[in-house]
Amino acid sequence: MARALAYSVQRSPTASAVLGNGLVYDVAIIGGGPAGATCATLCASQGRSVLLLERSQFPRDKVCGDCLNPLAWIVLEQLGLRERTLFLPHSVLEGVRFIGTNGLSVRVPLPHSPQPELGISRSQLDQLLLTRAREAGVIIHENTPLKKLRRLPSGWQLECDKGVFEAQQLVAADGRNSTVARQLGLLPPPLADDRIAVQTHLPQPACLNKDVVLQFVREGYAGLAPIGNNLANLCLVSRPRDLAAIKSWATAQFDLSEGQTWRSIAPLRRMPLAPTQPRLWLTGDTAQVVEPFTGEGIAYALRTGALCAEALLLDNPALYATRHAALYRGRLWVNHLARWACLNPKGGSALLLLGRVFPPFLQLLTRKVVAKQPLLYPQIP
């Protein structure tokens, strides 16, 4: 069988050339971030031949809050990466400090748990996940953007600089501005009232300790988190017209140089897409974008990548659609609240006053974000 031959040669240095000259991969995955790498590892570990195309060269920086939510640990343990993740430079986060536009500060301790909330470099975590996929036998081409995509009666044809490949199933894990979704005419138009995020790393301020600081300012909000090695991650979110002003505020607030390197990403909000179509699976931000204020993006990417792999292995798109919806259900109200607070920072500051007078309000908000969800899928050996 072609499948058996494909799997038997995929660890060979010439496997991609052999498979690209006539044989068909079981699964092709576009995007090597947490969702794509997770899905690839779990599919390959079950004997599927897997091709992964990643447009960047790892390690690479990514606009992200660099916070690893407790939701992520279920998948990291399933991948056998718990200890290797904890070996990376990181900071175990102990609390969240909210600061209003008027300077009011309220701190909420994070629940103590064997599944901690971490501040961790996204570039190093993503490198680890991609390395794990390679160890599982996934054929990976980095620095290889997808150029053309065509549906075939039996699957998909993919064209890139490394050649033309075919696959029976296609997983789009290439983010909120997905090339796959765009080429298939699925990508929704940007929303007129959306915001933009910029991110940088800086030496950890001495007053930060092991807390995440979420600060409302007139132009939007800032998120600061320690990530280990005496570094901190700083994210700013604002309307596009206020971006220059909020960067000027951050430059003065954190004593940054005028030449500070900032990375940006938009949109921060986008209509969700159906997670499945015939022989097509969407995962991570490609399917549904999560508000960066909550620090849940990596966890959702890992969880949806694992759910996608399980359903794909079972050839059960309905299972994926159902469990994908269940994963987000009951949690996105936090996203809506965070977006409102960014667009109305004075209103967000008023909520902090409520949280100071009535602490259970902010405790509920924080615990909702970091609460561990039950496993939605069986362990895959």
How many CB atoms neighbour CB 240 within 10 A?
10
Q: Which two tokens stand for residue 369?
A: 């974000």
Across the strands, what pairs with 198?
A: 236, 264
All structural domains of the chain, each given as residue ranges with its CATH number in brackets, are: 2-61+123-190+269-335 (3.50.50.60)
pLDDT tens digits, 214-257: 888 888 889 899 999 999 999 998 888 999 999 999 999 999 99
DSSP state at residue 104:
-
pLDDT tens digits, 64-95: 888 898 889 999 999 999 999 999 999 999 88
67 sits in which H/E element:
strand 67-68
Query: Residue 286: exposed, middle, or buried by beta-carbon count in 10 A (0-12, 13-18, 19+)?
Result: buried
* Measured distance CA(120)–CA(361) in Å, rounded: 27
* Measured distance CA(34)–CA(305) in Å, rounded: 7
What is the pLDDT confidence band of residue 359, given thresholds at 50, 70 and 90? low
* Measured distance CA(174)–CA(29) in Å, rounded: 9
Strands 280-282 and 276-277: antiparallel
Q: How far apart are the first and last CA of the chain?
A: 24
200 sits in which H/E element:
strand 196-203
Across the strands, what pairs with 235?
A: 199, 223
Contact yes or no for 168/279 (Cβ under 8 A): yes
Farthest CA pair distance, the chain:
68
pLDDT tens digits, 33-56: 999 999 999 999 999 999 999 999
Strands 95-99 and 211-217: parallel
